[in-house]
Structure 1
Amino acid sequence: MPKAKSLLERSLTAVALVLLAVPFLLIAAVVRLTSPGPALFRQQRVGLNGRIFDVYKFRTMVNGADDLIDQIIDLNEHDGVLFKIKNDPRCTRFGKWLRRHSIDEMPQLINVVRGEMSLIGPRPALPTEVAQYGADTCRRLQVKPGLTGLWQVSGRSNLSWDESVRLDLRYVEEWSPLLDVKILLRTVPAVVSRKGAY
């Protein structure tokens, strides 16, 4: 993918962060007021060429939620290497609202400005997921992960692991500026419909 795409995205995203500063601060305040702990959640993900980076989100779960996974592992509703629960008991009330409207993902604009993510690309994977990748699936790491992508506009958490991989690899193979525009245009209705957002 051309460097021009990255430069354009980082410039536009920097402007967006300035415009969204006040709403972000208000959301952060509500997160902290409704649940003890930090406003932002930071987690390691794997990016371009296997580079590890910290992804940012508004915290939607109780503080220390990762330490509770062993207690709810049997509730996992997905196959393959994904771990997802539609009504995750670790989510706070405000956190569920943020997730339904995909607002929790917005701090990842910081990752775009830092050059770690793209606006459009494959889903940013956890190191534990990448450790289970086969040679073919590793092709997801040939491009930067994205804030949105074919996986999001096609069902998000409703997709199986295999479906998610297929869509991400399709993006890697068929990338073009036109495909990015199509995905962006499909992102708004996908977010509004809240399909697979949990």
Structure 2
Amino acid sequence: LTLWLVPSASDSARLKRFMGTRPNSQSTSVSEASYPQFHPHVTLASLPDPEPPQAAILASIPDTLRALSISFDRVQVGDHYFRSVYLAVHPTQDLLDLHHHVHAALGIAPRTPKYPHLSLCYINDDDAAAGERTRYFDELQNAGKIRANDEGASVSLNCGDVSDDDWLSGFQSPEIWITRCGGPVETWTVESKIVLA
């Protein structure tokens, strides 16, 4: 099980449009494991087996927690399937405090590399070795989908289609989803949604 910070439905739709960008180069074919569809999210916690009881998971989220502000620092090419190309999210004190609180309440060590981040795509290692992660990132840049702000301190993403610009530099996360992430990515299921105050 994992705990995800998720955008609103409208911001999720915008991010999914952005995440659907593909490199123009048709000369290479990629594995079926690359570019699966998944809901945009920031992984707050990845729970070990055996997983804590549902009641303990729910109790680990403070009752008074309000929607969290997520802002984008930069787009990075990663070295792992689940961090193939991702948005480094600005590590606000609220995000760091919540991360610490949840893990302390559950009595587990964090297993969330590069927290906080939002993955834009998953590309398998063989495709990555052939340059696919870099091609995806280059396509985002070459298509004008990434704009640096504040002298490079943050980025905005153009989530619009070919004819319309729709810039997004962050979002409010109104819910935390408890998601079962076993098996192929496209079979992952949301087991519960926690609406934040």
TM (norm. structure 2) is: 0.24
Higher fraction of strand: 2
Q: Whose relative contact order is higher, 1 or 2, with alpha carbons under 8 Å and at least 6 apart?
A: 2
